Amino acid sequence: MEFVGPGERCLNGTRAAGAKYADGSGANEPVIVGFLCSWCAYRAADAAGMARITLAPNLRPIRVMCSSRVDPEMVLMALREGADGVLVVGCHPGDCHYVDGGLKVLKRFTLLRLLLPQLGLEKERVQLVWAAASEGAVLAAAIDRMTDQLRALGPLQWPKTVLCREGIDP
């Protein structure tokens, strides 16, 4: 029996969530992997659904206990595995159930955004949003805004963009 820790389970989730449609449908639509905080963001998505607010089908949600648990490696893996963008959604700073989770994710996010241009990636491909459990409309607007931005940027072609050549299997 092999032990799989919570980080590895999440990484396996990004592999599945970042995959494009197998049948080719929606090939021109951006795929967004969303890491949603269990306490606020995931409940905001539920609230949006209960309020009949339409969420863009581009989002592939992955529930995490706290947005501060989202490691930059997980974000890059989601992009490498086929996502066009990654949206990290957490509690407002100061409202985190784990006290300082919002501040931790903000620090990691800031460093990750500095790294993206060095990899040849646009900063708009990775975004951080704060959404309380009652803010389903805020979450829906953030998903729609990011979907529009990614449509304008076009699909992410990891081997060509990051590895600087085609034909390399990451």
What are the residue boundaries of the structural domains of the chain, listed by start? 30-161
- Which candidate, 84, 57, 61, 82, places its Cα nearest to that of 10? 61
Give residue 20's pLDDT band: very low, low, confident or very high (50, 70, 90). Answer: low
Residue 169 pLDDT > 70, yes or no? no
pLDDT tens per residue, range 23-45: 455 557 999 999 999 999 999 99
Query: For residue 91, what is the DSSP state?
Result: P
The answer regarding whether domain 30-161 maps to CATH 3.40.50 reads: yes
pLDDT, position 130 = 97
pLDDT tens per residue, range 134-149: 999 999 999 999 999 9
What's the pTM?
0.83
Kindly state the greatest CA–CA separation across the chain: 46
Q: Give the H or E element holding residue 118.
A: none
Q: Characterise 154 by phi-psi region: left (phi > 0), alpha (psi -120 to 50), beta (else).
A: left
- The two three-digit tokens of residue 8, written as one number: 């590895």
Give residue 5's pLDDT band: very low, low, confident or very high (50, 70, 90). Answer: very low
CA distance 42 to 68: 14
CA distance 73 to 45: 25
